[in-house]
Structure 1
Amino acid sequence: MKKLFTALVIATALFACKKEQKRGTEQVLPAAFEKEMTADAGQLIDVRTPKEYSEGHLNGAKNLHIYDNDFITRLDSLDKDETVYIYCKAGGRSAEAVETLESKGFKHIVELEGGMDAWKEAGKPVKQ
């Protein structure tokens, strides 16, 4: 009986400590976007043009231009179970990309509200 009780206590503790996978789509401001990205090493995607990307992007971002012919195919290389952090210049293209990600079954998507414009306005770091 004592062993069973100990096993239950350990199992409960392990279950409580296990990181719960978030689901759904969030649109967050730069401070929350930065905080979530830092806490969770997800997949960071910049859907702007390669030219825009080269003029400054978030550190670690992968450039997948939304209007490239192979955009959908390149999305297939991402892990659907891992959080996707996504942004564009002001929010329009990333909103389009979010719809595509949702339709493809991605479980958790975090969109930067206001895009790079809001990020820069908030004084957040940009990699050149």
Structure 2
Amino acid sequence: MSITKTLVIMSFLSSLFGATAQDTSAIKILSTTEFKQGISKDSVQLVDVRTALEFQSGHIKGALNIDFLKSNQFLEDVHKLDKEIPIYLYCRSGGRSNKAARQLISLGFKEIYDLQGGYLGWK
């Protein structure tokens, strides 16, 4: 079985059976001001989980685009990130980034920050 299929199955089972048991305290929802302060630090990972088209229409400088809606590719790409370095997520309005954050918890990420209101609130 390929690693992608294994990751998808593990993620699905985790979200199915572990959603209520997840420790969502690892996810911090930040205001625009707090988010700007956070991403100004040296050692952070900034991830835009919107589609490539949304990303091309405007994004936060330095962001890596990992489309949450492309679940197989999303899982493959986030496994390349460092689980020990804080990760800052955003989407258009906050829904997808919150779902992505929950998935990152199930994958072992420790420190996750989500932009309140998403990119719409940033602009």
Query: Which bin holds the TM-score, normalised by the shorter protein?
Result: 0.7 to 0.9
- Quote the sequence identity (%): 39
Q: How many residues align?
A: 98
Residue of structure 2 equivalent to 1:106? 109
| CA deviation map 1:98-117 (0-9, x unaligned) | 01000001010010010001
- 2:82 partner amino acid: D
Residues 10-21 of structure 1 aligned to structure 2 (within 5 Å): none
Distance, in Å, in 1 between the alignment partners of 2:44 and 2:117 is 20
Deviating above 3 A after TM superposition, structure 1's stretches of 4 or more consecutive aligned residues are none
Task: Show structure 2 runs of 5+ residues with no match.
Answer: 1-24
Residue of structure 1 equivalent to 2:84? 81
Residue of structure 2 equivalent to 1:95? 98
- 1:67 partner amino acid: L
Task: Show structure 1 runs of 5+ residues with no match.
Answer: 1-22, 121-128
Residue of structure 2 equivalent to 1:9? none
TM-score where L is the length of structure 1: 0.74
Give the alignment's Cα RMSD to 1 decimal: 1.2
Report how far residue 96 of structure 1 moved: 0.6
Report how far residue 67 of structure 1 moved: 1.2
| CA deviation map 1:13-46 (0-9, x unaligned) | xxxxxxxxxx822100101000111124300000
* Correspondent of 1:56 among 55, 58, 63: 58
| CA deviation map 1:24-75 (0-9, x unaligned) | 2210010100011112430000000000000000000000000113111111
SS in 1 for 2:114: strand
Query: Which protein has the larger Cα radius of gyration, Structure 1 or Structure 2?
Result: 1
SS in 2 for 1:39: coil
TM-score where L is the length of structure 2: 0.77
